[in-house]
């Protein structure tokens, strides 16, 4: 019987079937083996050879492979130990100030008994020093452009809180930006309330920009903010809002400051350009702008019109497009000055993009073709040129650069807990004698097999693959009809995989299962295809040996990451230590941690509760002069199972009581013959089960360490896990009982 001669020496594999696109993978070694029923030895390329890894890899090669020097500069690099290092002050970071991310993970995730904080993963690490540096860098870019171009006014930005409404982020922006008159932008009533509260501690000149659709309550609230001496501007998104502003301001006896959002003709066609152009969602047309101006003049309030706002779209790809939009808007601004409006501010909106893929390309939705300095220079130049031509006084320049401010300062860290095997089976593992295997096939399948072996003998590799696919398809159909047993079908699958691997056509991409919910933590990837840099945060002094995609915990086929900033459908990854990997480093010889970077904008605000996975744990990490260069100034665990259930209108306390009564009703007697011993064993079993149930309500929904899963089988009672939650910004965190005020409702037994 002809042998499967298609499994040839590695040296004779045709170039078209080589492992193309795998330049980051180790050099192949060979596998030798015999096919059943044959005397032919095959040599097949296999995965990495450990002995070649140290001499062929270095941290600098990892920086190049993952493009860290592109998207990460000046905040992230790979240190000499192969870990991701944070430069909290950007280019001004001194060597001793660098923060090793793995040391942060170790401090946060290790048990309190060993000096850690006992906080479960996944984890968001917030770096306020990076946020401060971004704000200062943006301010410096505009200040430099204004000075160099002789611009006769100043810049003062606002942070759009919709990007991330977290209290400490907003408070940091106000604190860091107070010296620069940095303000806030709100787009809803609750955002306006938090902005008002935070700006009470900010600069009195800081702008409070009120965007979004508005009803009477929203406008009343904004006018109250003005009565509180906050520099509030109500930006009209619809012409009808003006009537409410005029009416309510008179009732409250407040002179409002009014802005208008212009709907420009300028539009970019990129991924984020849908909100721009004449068909955009927000803004007033030229006809509406004129009607608003005339109505204000009639109401003797034209001096109240002081700001013009526009928005071309997020991630503006080029400064040429930016200049086009700014020039158009400035012409409208100048015309409003001519009509007698009290214009003072031009708000260029959002759109300042960041380089997600490190390519510095204007042709990619994941990148932009400019930096902060080029952006600021173009804005100042376009406004100055248009105003000078019309002899209009230079306005205050405002921007709403949220993405560019907060994206870099937040890192999502998660763990790969297992990976699927991607190696083709060995010949010996097929488990069937070849002659028996062939005799069990149908006539059509047997013909496919003979054609396959003939093509293999002739080294006709294309025909080989065709007949292999036909053989597999025929066998699948026969199996569905009940004419082929499972062993034969498995043998066919195995033979086809061996053939594909021998020819370099085997799909070697592995699926890494990660302790994460894509829907909760990376919603923009699922919703709009936004790609973020994802990188192992350690082992970067070692060559990655496999390609992988990331599969999350949710019961949804969309819960995976299979597109990466490199343009590839897989990511270079390292082998997991130990069989099947580990969970939070407890088993398998240590965890494998990855970080998603540049995700500080929108991801937390947009994340949902798919499968009732709540948000990750969050820590605030500041640079310090301590032994590890950092201090954890705040640590908060992610939502517990009880908390996410409560969000969906369930009542966890009653649920627990129901389950507790069911445990008591069922009874769990022991095996002892002594009646008293039986009662004691029965009571201990109930104690154990109820304690475990209580713990389950209070634990996070994500995968937990082995130690936290033992409450159903141990004899101890339930005790709350403690977390660090200190508002005093020091590293001597005080413990907070996980159950909080509800502790007594949940205790059933004593430990």
Tokens 């942070």 correspond to 159
Question: How far apart (Å, rounded) are the C-alpha atoms in residues 124 and 414?
Answer: 9
Q: Which long-range contacts (CB under 8 A, 24 or more apart) does 421-425 make?
A: 421/510, 422/507, 422/508, 422/509, 422/510, 422/546, 423/46, 423/47, 423/501, 423/508, 424/44, 424/494, 424/497, 424/498, 424/500, 424/501, 424/506, 425/494, 425/497, 425/498
Question: How far apart (Å, rounded) are the C-alpha atoms in residues 747 and 751?
Answer: 10
Q: Which of 329, 336, 305 has its CA nearest to residue 397? A: 329
φ, ψ of residue 723 in degrees (nearest 5) = -130, 155
Contact 157, 177 (CB under 8 A): yes
For the chain, the helix, strand and coil percentages under 3-state DSSP, each to the nearest 5: 40, 15, 45
Separation of CA 406 from chain center: 13
Question: How far apart (Å, rounded) are the C-alpha atoms in residues 331 and 518?
Answer: 44
Q: What is the dihedral of CA 553, 555, 557, 559, to 10 degrees?
A: -30
Does residue 555 carry a catalytic annotation? Answer: yes
Measured from the Cβ of residue 308, the count of other Cβ atoms closer than 10 Å reads 28
Count of helices and strands (H, E) across the chain: 24, 25
Q: Is 91 exposed, middle or buried (0-12, 13-18, 19+ CB in 10 A)?
A: exposed
Q: Which of 566, 726, 743 has its CA nearest to residue 634? A: 726
Q: Which of 338, 412, 356, 346 has its CA nearest to residue 379? A: 346
Contact 76, 593 (CB under 8 A): no
Strand blocks (E) in 187-309:
207-210, 231-236, 258-261, 305-309
**Token pair recorded at residue 449:** 């097999």
Peptide bond into 122 cis (omega under 30): yes
Return the CA Rg of the chain: 32
Catalytic residue among 555, 666, 719, 749: 555
Q: Catalytic site residues?
A: 555
């Amino acid at each position: 019987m002809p042998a499967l001669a298609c499994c040839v020496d590695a040296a004779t594999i045709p170039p078209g079937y080589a492992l193309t696109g795998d330049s980051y993978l180790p050099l192949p070694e060979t596998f030798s083996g015999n096919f059943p029923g044959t005397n032919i030895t095959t040599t097949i390329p296999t995965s990495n050879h450990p002995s070649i890894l140290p001499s062929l890899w270095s941290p600098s090669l990892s920086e190049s492979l993952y493009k860290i020097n592109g998207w990460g500069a000046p905040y992230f690099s790979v240190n000499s130990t192969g870990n991701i290092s944070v430069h909290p002050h950007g280019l001004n970071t001194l060597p001793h100030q660098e923060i090793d991310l793995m040391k942060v993970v170790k401090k946060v995730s290790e048990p309190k008994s060993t000096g850690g904080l006992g906080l479960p993963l996944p984890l968001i690490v917030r770096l306020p020093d990076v946020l401060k540096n971004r704000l200062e860098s943006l301010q410096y870019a505009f200040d430099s452009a204004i000075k160099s171009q002789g611009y006769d006014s100043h810049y003062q930005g606002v942070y759009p809180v919709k990007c991330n409404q977290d209290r400490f982020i907003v408070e940091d922006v106000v604190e860091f930006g107070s010296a620069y008159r940095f303000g806030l932008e709100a787009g809803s009533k609750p955002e306006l309330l938090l902005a008002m509260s935070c700006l009470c501690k900010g600069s009195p000149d800081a702008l409070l920009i009120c965007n979004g659709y508005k009803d009477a309550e929203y406008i009343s609230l904004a006018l109250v903010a003005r009565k509180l001496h906050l520099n509030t501007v109500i930006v009209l998104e619809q012409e009808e809002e003006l009537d409410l502003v005029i009416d309510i301001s008179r009732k409250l006896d407040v002179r409002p400051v009014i802005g208008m959002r212009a709907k420009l003709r300028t539009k970019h066609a990129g991924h984020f350009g849908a909100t721009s152009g004449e068909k955009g969602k927000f803004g007033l047309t030229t006809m509406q702008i004129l009607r608003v101006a005339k109505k204000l003049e009639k109401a003797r309030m034209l001096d109240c019109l002081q700001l013009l706002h526009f928005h071309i779209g997020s991630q503006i790809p080029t400064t040429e497009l930016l200049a086009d939009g700014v020039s158009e808007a400035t012409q409208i601004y100048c015309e409003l000055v001519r009509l007698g409006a009290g214009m003072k501010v031009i708000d260029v909106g959002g759109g300042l993009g960041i380089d997600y893929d490190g390519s510095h390309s204007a042709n990619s939705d994941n990148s932009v073709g400019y930096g902060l300095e080029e952006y600021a220079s173009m804005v100042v130049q376009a406004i100055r040129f248009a105003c000078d031509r019309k002899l209009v006084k230079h306005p205050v320049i405002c921007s709403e650069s949220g993405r560019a401010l907060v994206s870099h300062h937040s890192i999502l860290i998660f763990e790969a807990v297992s990976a699927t095997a991607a190696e083709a089976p060995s010949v010996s593992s097929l488990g069937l004698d070849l002659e028996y295997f062939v005799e069990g096939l149908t006539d059509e399948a047997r013909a496919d097999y003979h054609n396959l072996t003939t093509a293999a003998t002739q080294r006709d590799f294309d025909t080989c693959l065709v007949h292999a696919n036909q053989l597999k398809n025929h066998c699948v159909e026969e199996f569905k009809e009940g004419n082929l047993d499972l062993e034969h079908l498995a043998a066919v699958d195995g033979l086809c995989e061996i053939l594909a691997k021998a020819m370099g056509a085997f799909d070697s991409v592995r699926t890494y299962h990660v302790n994460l919910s894509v829907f909760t933590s990376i919603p923009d990837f699922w919703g709009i295809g936004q790609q973020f840099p994802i990188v192992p945060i350690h082992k970067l002094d070692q060559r990655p040996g496999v390609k992988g995609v990331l599969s999350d915990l949710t019961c949804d086929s969309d819960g995976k990451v299979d597109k990466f900033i490199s343009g590839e459908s897989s990511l270079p990854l390292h082998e997991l230590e130990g069989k099947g990997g580990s969970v939070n480093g407890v088993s398998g010889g240590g965890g494998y941690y990855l970080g998603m970077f540049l995700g500080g904008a929108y991801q937390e605000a947009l994340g949902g509760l798919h499968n009732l996975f709540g948000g990750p744990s969050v820590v605030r990490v500041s640079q310090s002069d301590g032994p590890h260069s950092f201090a954890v100034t705040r640590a908060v665990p992610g939502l517990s199972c009880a908390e996410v259930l409560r969000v969906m209108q369930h009542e966890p306390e009653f649920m627990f009581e129901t389950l507790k009564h069911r445990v008591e009703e069922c009874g769990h007697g022991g095996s002892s013959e002594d009646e008293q011993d039986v009662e004691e064993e029965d009571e201990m079993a109930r104690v154990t089960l109820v304690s475990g149930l209580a713990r389950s309500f209070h634990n996070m929904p994500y995968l937990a360490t082995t130690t936290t899963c033992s409450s159903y089988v141990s004899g101890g009672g339930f005790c709350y896990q403690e977390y660090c939650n200190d508002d005093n910004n020091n590293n001597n965190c005080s413990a907070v009982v996980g159950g909080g005020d509800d502790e007594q409702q949940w205790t059933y037994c004593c430990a």
